[in-house]
Amino acid sequence: MLATDRDALLCDMAQTYHVFDLKSLPPVLCATLAAGLPDDARIKMHMRDVKVSTNRLLLAAILDALNILVYHGTQDARAGINQPRSVVGILTGKEKSDGSGAVTAYDSPEAFLAARAELIRRRDNAD
């Protein structure tokens, strides 16, 4: 684990066991504690080449199922358009994110209110 990603192991050991200096532990104890880290520990996910924990994937699958249920009650579903994107697909890399989840920051409340007013104006003009 040390050879794979020393920083991830140190971070996991500090978070889980409050150990901040790996050299202060006997090697056998350090190895035992490292083996006992949870499956969603950074180092274990790195070693398995997994980007998302099982819990997050399960939550994403629940969200996908809910999105499909809600979608089936819409006009878009009857027309067969605008089906919701799969969050699981995006998290696993099987589907590319369209970037629409990007965060926009504003320097002041006034800048935010101006951008909001512009979005509302565009929405109203589109109808």
**pTM of the complete model beyond 0.75:** no
Question: Count of CB atoms within 10 A of residue 30's CB?
Answer: 19
Looking at residue 7, what is its pLDDT?
A: 95
- CA dist., res. 52 & res. 34, Å (int): 20
pLDDT, average across residues 16-31? 95
> What are the boundaries of each domain within the chain?
6-47, 54-126
pLDDT band at 100 (very low <50, low <70, confident <90, very high): low
The residue-averaged pLDDT of 73-98 equals 87
Q: What is the percent of the chain with per-residue pLDDT over 70, rounded to a whole number? A: 94
Q: With 90 as the cut, is the pLDDT of residue 25 above it?
A: yes
- Given a contact cutoff of 8 angstroms between Cβ atoms, the answer to whether 83 and 61 are in contact is no
Contact indicator for 96, 90 with CB cutoff of 8 Å: yes
**Cβ burial, residue 46 (10 Å; 0-12/13-18/19+):** middle
